[in-house]
């Protein structure tokens, strides 16, 4: 069974923290949930639980960054893009300090805590901040790479993590390049560009579409900012339709980023959007919420067929 993204994240902090004492980990009293506690148990002198004081935590992290440390800032994603936003904007973005904002329980994965805890606008907010990079974890192996990449990159970064175990998309031989998307399946009729949990849904949709005679390329666009402009343009040239799929509002997230590229480069191709359609997500089991808001292979197929006039 696949490991949860949050467990792999905690284990990766320990792995790289063992050889790099610049790594500092802060949490806002949810370390058992974010799994930053795994690091805390191994390196208590570099772990700071600040309590329910997310704004203070982000400001503390700025101080560490100013001293040459690499602070990993942990809490639920919704509290980073609200309570932590002032420090993200002033110290991360404006001052361009080396701060890593780790958004746990992204999307609707904080199922039973409801609308106040679901994070469906975090990508929009963080990608609007100058100097920030914005990335979304796809599966366990990708999560481990994201931690290493965050350490290697000198600059502010927002990484969205999910609460749950997700099916493996990548094997042990997978490679990732900063700022580049990965083509997971080739196709000539339509390109499905997805991120996070929706990547596996996109692959499932492509497999079913193939049975209906529709050839779908599937792209994991885990880097929302910087985004792989060339891959999007190349996909538009060979496709009749671009479909974006994300566990996020369709306003300003992956879909918005792709639309900006298509427009700026004069790509005359239609785009369909799969995501939350300008609503707040309700309370309930994650699978139920995903289905209700169309975050599924079935809805990717529906939007693809509709976009192709089928």
Q: What is the dihedral of CA 104, 107, 109, 111, to 10 degrees?
A: 120
* Tokens 């890593």 belong to residue: 100
How many angstroms separate the CA atoms of 219 and 214, rounded? 16
Nearest to 123 by CA among 83, 73, 163, 161: 161
Phi, then psi, of 59 in degrees rounded to 5: -70, -40
Which of the residues 11, 42, 54, 247 is marked catalytic? 54
Q: Is 183 helix (H, G, I), strand (E, B) or coil?
A: strand
- C-alpha pair distances (Å), 102 with each of 6, 8, 36, 72, 98: 10, 13, 10, 7, 13
Q: Which two tokens stand for residue 79?
A: 């509290």
Catalytic: 54? yes
Angle value at C-alpha 143, between 141 and 144, nearest 5 degrees: 70
Strand partners, 216: 190
Enzyme catalytic residues: 54
């Amino acid at each position: 069974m696949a490991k949860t993204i949050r467990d792999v994240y905690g284990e990766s902090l320990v792995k790289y923290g063992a050889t790099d004492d610049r790594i500092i980990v802060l949490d806002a009293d949810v370390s058992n949930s974010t799994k930053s506690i795994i690091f805390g148990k191994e390196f208590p002198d570099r772990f700071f639980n600040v309590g329910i004081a997310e704004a203070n935590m982000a400001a503390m992290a700025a101080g560490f960054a100013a001293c040459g440390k690499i602070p990993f800032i942990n809490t639920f994603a919704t509290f980073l893009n609200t309570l932590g936003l002032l420090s993200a904007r002033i110290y991360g973005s404006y001052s361009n300090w080396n701060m890593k904002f780790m958004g746990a329980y992204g999307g609707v994965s904080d199922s039973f805590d409801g609308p106040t805890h679901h994070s469906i606008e975090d990508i929009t907010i963080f990608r609007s901040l100058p100097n920030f990079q914005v990335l979304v974890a796809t599966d366990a192996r990708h999560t481990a790479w994201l931690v290493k990449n965050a350490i290697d990159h000198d600059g502010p970064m927002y990484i969205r993590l999910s609460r749950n175990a997700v099916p493996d998309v990548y094997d042990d031989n997978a490679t990732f390049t900063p700022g580049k998307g990965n083509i997971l399946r080739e196709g000539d009729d339509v390109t499905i560009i997805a991120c996070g949990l929706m990547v596996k849904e996109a692959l499932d949709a492509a497999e079913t579409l193939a049975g209906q005679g529709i050839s779908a390329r599937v792209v994991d666009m885990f880097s929302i900012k910087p985004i792989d402009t060339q891959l999007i343009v190349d996909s538009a040239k060979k496709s009749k339709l671009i479909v974006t799929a994300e566990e996020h509002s369709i306003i300003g997230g992956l879909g918005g980023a792709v639309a900006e590229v298509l427009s700026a480069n004069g790509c005359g191709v239609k785009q369909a959007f799969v995501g939350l359609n300008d609503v707040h997500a309700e309370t309930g089991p994650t699978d139920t919420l995903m289905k209700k808001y169309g975050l599924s292979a079935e809805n990717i197929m529906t939007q693809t067929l509709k976009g192709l006039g089928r």
